[in-house]
């Protein structure tokens, strides 16, 4: 089996590390990639083809793991060339997922929940072809939600409304605590109710948010656009904070 990768960030890099089998071969391309991405691909030692079109043609499963803003364009450009399963792992709205479905024959709506580099993330799937990917459970815990394209995308957005809003609140609270030279005490008192590992998890969440604020802002835009009939007061406030 051949798995093609479009996008080689943390998700793709760690999937290569998790899915180890003599029967599975990974392929990608460095066409148009940044120097940092090219270095990551070289370190992974997976096969590199000349173009992503060739990757799409030759693979049995094509995985798209890019930024939300590029997800639809990637599907338009390469989805038509793959005859196998097209697994979209981008943090996009159901609306975008339905658009992607117009360009792809065998779309599976996917999401990796949990830190991908933790060693125990969960892969959620929806779509009629999802059952054909359940073999991945041998390498990464895999759950099929339904046959409906869009269901996993909705769950991703709902999760993001919580996690990204919470991250923005943590950043703001920590900034204020620093101003009063009470950062240590701030985490101490919260740890009393939130658990002993709260400080470590919070600082990791804050750093991750600050280091990828542009991408997370794009994801919040997707949430606001899709759930436009809802007020989403907290989500809009979180977006404003991240944009600062």
Kindly state whether residues 172 and 142 are assigned to the same domain. no
Kindly state whether residues 163 and 131 are assigned to the same domain. no
Kindly state whether residues 6 and 123 are assigned to the same domain. yes
Kindly state whether residues 14 and 117 are assigned to the same domain. yes
Whole-model pTM: value is 0.80
Kindly state whether residues 181 and 216 are assigned to the same domain. yes
Of 83, 114, 148, the last residue of a domain is 148
CA dihedral 71, 111, 100, 132 (to 10 degrees): 130
Contacts of 23 (CB under 8 A, 6+ apart): 1
Contacts of 51 (CB under 8 A, 6+ apart): 29, 31
Q: What is the mean pLDDT of each run of 10 residues along the chain (244 residues)?
A: 93 92 95 88 92 96 91 94 95 90 95 80 96 96 96 90 92 95 95 92 88 84 86 91 87
Of 148, 179, 196, the last residue of a domain is 148
Nearest to 154 by CA among 102, 210, 63, 230: 230
pLDDT given for residue 182 in this prediction: 97
Residue 232, by phi and psi: left (phi above 0), alpha (psi -120 to 50) or beta? left
pLDDT given for residue 176 in this prediction: 96
pLDDT given for residue 219 in this prediction: 81
Kindly state whether residues 8 and 116 are assigned to the same domain. yes
pLDDT given for residue 216 in this prediction: 85
Kindly state whether residues 175 and 55 are assigned to the same domain. no
Range of the structural domain that residue 112 is part of: 2-148
Phi, psi of 236 (to 5 degrees): -65, -35
Of 148, 165, 184, the last residue of a domain is 148
pLDDT, tens digit (0-9, with 9 covering 90-100), for 28-69: 999 988 888 899 999 888 999 999 999 999 999 999 998 888
């Amino acid at each position: 089996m051949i798995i093609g990768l479009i996008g080689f960030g943390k998700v793709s890099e760690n999937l290569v590390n998790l899915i180890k089998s003599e029967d599975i071969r990974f392929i990608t391309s460095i066409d148009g990639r940044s120097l940092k991405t090219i270095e990551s691909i070289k370190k992974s030692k997976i096969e590199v083809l000349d173009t992503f079109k060739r990757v799409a043609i030759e693979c049995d499963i094509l995985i798209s793991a890019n930024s939300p803003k590029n997800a639809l364009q990637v599907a338009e450009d390469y989805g038509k060339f793959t005859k196998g399963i097209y697994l979209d792992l981008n943090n996009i709205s159901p609306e975008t997922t339905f658009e992607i479905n117009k360009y792809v024959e065998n779309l599976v709506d996917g999401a990796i929940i949990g830190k991908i580099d933790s060693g125990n993330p969960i892969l959620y799937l929806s779509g009629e072809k999802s059952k054909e990917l359940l073999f991945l459970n041998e390498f990464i815990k895999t759950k099929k939600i339904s046959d409906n394209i869009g269901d996993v995308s909705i769950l991703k957005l709902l999760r993001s409304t919580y996690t990204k809003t919470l991250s923005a609140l943590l950043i703001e609270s920590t900034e204020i605590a620093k101003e009063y030279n009470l950062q240590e005490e701030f985490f101490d008192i919260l740890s009393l109710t939130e658990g002993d590992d709260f400080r470590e998890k919070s600082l990791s969440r804050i750093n991750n948010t600050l280091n990828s604020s542009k991408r997370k802002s794009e994801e919040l835009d997707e949430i606001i656009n899709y759930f436009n009939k809802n007020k989403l007061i907290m989500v809009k406030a979180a977006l404003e904070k991240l944009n600062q």
